[in-house]
Amino acid sequence: MSLRKYIIDRIRGTPPIPEIPPKVMELTSMSEGELEKIEETRSKSGTGKYRKLYEKDGLTFTLVNYLIGKIGSQQGYWEGDPEIVKEAEAWSSLIGLKFINKNILKNTVLDGTCFIEMLPTKARDGIHSFKFYKIEEVDFIRDKENKIILDDLNRPLGFVITRNHITRKVYADKVVQKDDVILKARKGEDLRDHFAWFVLEGYGDSLLGISLIEPVYRSAIIRSNISDMVGEAAFRGGGIVAYYTGQPPQEVIDAFSRDLKSITRKNIFLLSDKWKLSTIPSPDVKEVYDMILYLADEESLGIGPPLELLMTSKGMYKTDLGTKLVDFENRISIYQEYFCHQFNIQVTSYLKKLWGVTDKQLRYVLTTSEPSTKTLRSRVLSTLARRGLIRWDPELELKIRKEEGLPTSFIEQQLEEWKTKKIKTEEDIKEKEIDVDQGEL
């Protein structure tokens, strides 16, 4: 607002229109055209504000980490051909696959899409490391209408990588920088196989995902601003205020003000009747506190983990936590299956191609870490076993052992012996009774 307009408004008695600060402008609604523009440039818009919220806001940090921990808390295990499974387990341990998956999940939750590059060994006999890209550094090759170009197999035509002001386009058979071909694919090699991308939430007609922070970002910002206001009010409340009558000299007022700044409970003041000391009353923030809890609950609802699991408060909304846990576990299970599906299609298939075992079976699986889910599943298996609906066999035990992270060497050997017998009929199966006292079969 200009000074001239401010003076005219004061003379006319017109109340000045306050300027909207940038923080408040973040919360204003956008037009349909602006939303369409954001959708078109989702991969290039950058999600730095979501990462900043994750770094600065304690609740967002906790919710995201809790969700990631539940999705990928277990090491996971491999299924398929025994020899290839052993090789995959050794490879997973060598590169720290559990921690790589954690970073993939974190980037996916915050950015919506996580792009990685799988770097093969010099001998092209395996993957030795993964390179992570920021969401604004990688995009699919698009046409003039900003739509992703697909090939005849409905795969993206390629990728556009921009780093350090250098742009490269990766096609199936070559890598182009400006107009120069800087790398050609080997015979039978598809350079696009080096790249993988992961999403957890998105649309069926889009290859890009949606950040789990995006729907709750507005609520998180409002809650954070209100929390700052409550903290400021609590900090200012309880301050010392001095009342005086008459007109004491300014030197006396300044000296008394300096003394009050360093006051402690050990100080003794001798005051005349003209001076009175009191404290600034603390504002009542109960209603504001309830609003903070509501906004926090709204954010936890969007990201996933129930707020009651992470916070204990007198003002917490009382709901059926058991029902929330079941819904949350179902959501985690879907995320795990979806993540493993993408992992096996992109990473496992490329790993098998480098190992030269594309005809072998290999699959990566994540298991739940929720105690209630494990207990329920154990009860179901026990009930079926007691009723004779399922029987013991090495294959079943091997799967259970892998899910629980138990040793498997002995049962793998037993499974191999069991398979070599080629049991086909019911009569060939001899039931074994377990002697609990002797601990033998």
Residue 74 has pLDDT above 70, yes or no: no
Q: What was the pLDDT predicted at 398?
A: 78
DSSP codes joined into one string, 283-300: P--HHHHHHHHHHHHHHH
Report pTM: 0.71
Distances (CA, A) of 248 to 9, 254, 271, 274, 279: 39, 10, 13, 9, 21
Token pair recorded at residue 425: 């009929």
| DSSP structural state of residue 213 | S
Token pair recorded at residue 186: 């080997």
pLDDT, tens digit, 9 for 90 and up, residues 273-319? 777 777 766 666 667 878 888 899 899 988 988 888 887 655 555 55
Q: What was the pLDDT predicted at 27?
A: 43
- Residue scoring higher pLDDT (335 or 253): 335
Number of Cα atoms under 13 Å in the Cβ half of residue 367: 18
pLDDT, tens digit, 9 for 90 and up, residues 86-112? 899 999 999 999 999 999 999 999 999
Q: What is the mean pLDDT of the chain?
A: 79
Of the candidates 45, 60, 55, 167, the one whose C-alpha atom is nearest the C-alpha of residue 113 is: 45
Q: Binning pLDDT at 50, 70 and 90, where does residue 439 land?
A: very low
Residue 395 has pLDDT above 60, yes or no: yes
pLDDT, tens digit, 9 for 90 and up, residues 123-145? 888 999 999 999 999 999 999 98
Cα separation of 42 and 62, whole Å? Answer: 26
Q: Binning pLDDT at 50, 70 and 90, where does residue 345 land?
A: very high
SS3 95: helix
Q: What was the pLDDT predicted at 349?
A: 94
Please give the average per-residue pLDDT across 355-373, as a whole number.
Answer: 82
Q: What was the pLDDT predicted at 40?
A: 42
Number of Cα atoms under 13 Å in the Cβ half of residue 190: 14
Token pair recorded at residue 436: 């609990």
Each domain of the chain, given as residue ranges in start order, spans: 240-279
Please give the average per-residue pLDDT across 313-341, as a whole number.
Answer: 78
- Cβ atoms of residues 415 and 425 within 8 Å: no
- Cβ atoms of residues 114 and 198 within 8 Å: yes
Name the β-bridge partners of 435. 440
Residue 432 has pLDDT above 50, yes or no: no
What distance, in Å, lies between the first and last C-alpha atoms of the chain?
88
